[in-house]
Structure 1
Amino acid sequence: MTTRTLYLLCSAAPPVFEVAGVVEEAQRRGWDVCLGLTPTAAEWLEDSLPGLAALTGHPVRTRYKRPGQPDVWPPADAVLVAPATTNTVNRWALGITDTWVVGFVAEGIGKQIPMAVMPCVNEAYARHPQLPLSLEALRASGVRVLYGPEGFEPNPSGEKRPYPWSVALDAVDGFGR
């Protein structure tokens, strides 16, 4: 079996603290995992970054590389953006590429890299009128959106439910097979 490369790109939402177990599960499924984090997610996981780099065998990416620097990751066969905050989803859909994670996936649409996104938002954020527009823009761009009954369903504010990581991994497992 040929190993495929999964870029797991995470925003700062509580399920990001489970990322080591998600990496291990993706590896059991045959993925070579490269982990990218938004700046706030990287801050939240600051003490874990060396261990996460050792677990994946790749540096954890949090920012753009300088022009001319070599890429430190193999090319992606698939991308999973999860957990994806309202901020990440909206910036991606609108093409606001001020962070490496959002810049990579915005460009990934044009490169036609197979991508899935699973938001992690509470009901209050879900009611904002931009979120459904952004999710539809991503769907129309070919991104597999795992939201609602087929993925993540918003929590009431202040309530936490288990994040359906297996749904997200199942979605990327299906790419290209």
Structure 2
Amino acid sequence: MASRVLYLLGCAAPPVLRVADVVDDAQRAGWDVCLGLTPTAAHWLTDDLPALEEQSGHPVRSRYKLPGRPDAWPPATAVLMAPATFNTVNQWALGITEKFVVGFAAEAIGKGIPLVTMPCVNAAYARHPQFGHSLETLRRAGVRVLYGEGGFVPNAPGQGRPDAFPWGQALAAVAEAAEDVVEGARDTAAARPDDAR
């Protein structure tokens, strides 16, 4: 099994319907993938959930575990929240965590786990004033936001192209974010005096 663990957290936007291909791509890149979904995304993928669990080797989660129960997933090396809907981006930035994937991502900020998100919204949602504030809040919190040039570019309402969602860029960014943490830890260890090692 791969030593790097990717929490792939998906929301109910059309690109989530090809998440099996994304899991496959991530596994080929050396990730052990744990798939989390918003409740609506899980509903959209109801018929695919058993195959996704077999593919990933982990339960697909869309709810918080019960208190006292062990965690079914290994600890995350990095997190990719994609596709991230308008609703999820705003909830995450505002700290509204009734959804498991939002709660995990919010806590991951405080734990220092590398986080990447790629929103998937149409241009009408993107014009809502809260959306820009939410993206900026997440960026200030250390989340790598792939939106606009070099990430997801909003389409006009009703003109989305789910097959064109730039999953490859998202996976490359999360690999880079994880590597930055590894390099930072190496640099910190190298900078310590010998008697502190």
The normalised TM-score by structure 2 is 0.88
RMSD over aligned Cα, in angstroms? 1.0
- The one-letter code of the counterpart of 1:94 is L
1:50 aligns with 2:50: yes
In structure 2, the partner of 1:67 is 67
Give the distance between the partners of 1:136 and 1:150, measured in 2 at CA.
16
**Secondary structure of 1:36's match?**
strand
In structure 1, the partner of 2:186 is none
1:169 corresponds, among 163, 168, 171, to 171
Cα shift readout 1:131-172 (whole Å, capped 9, x = no counterpart): 010000000000000000020000111112210000100001
Gaps (5+ residues) in structure 1? none
> Residues 2 and 31 of structure 2 are in contact (CA less than 8 Å); yes or no, is this contact kept in structure 1?
no
In structure 2, the partner of 1:94 is 94
Deviation for aligned residue 1:2? 5.7
Alignment of 1:1-177 (within 5 A): 3-161=3-161, 162-177=164-179
Give the distance between the partners of 2:24 and 2:14, measured in 1 at CA.
18
How many residues matched?
Answer: 177
Cα shift readout 1:42-74 (whole Å, capped 9, x = no counterpart): 000000000000000000000000111000000
Q: Which runs of 4+ in 1 moved over 3 A?
A: none
- Of all paired residues, the percent bearing the same amino acid is 66
More helix by share: 2
The normalised TM-score by structure 1 is 0.98
Gaps (5+ residues) in structure 2? 180-197
**Secondary structure of 1:150's match?**
coil
Give the distance between the partners of 2:18 and 2:65, measured in 1 at CA.
26
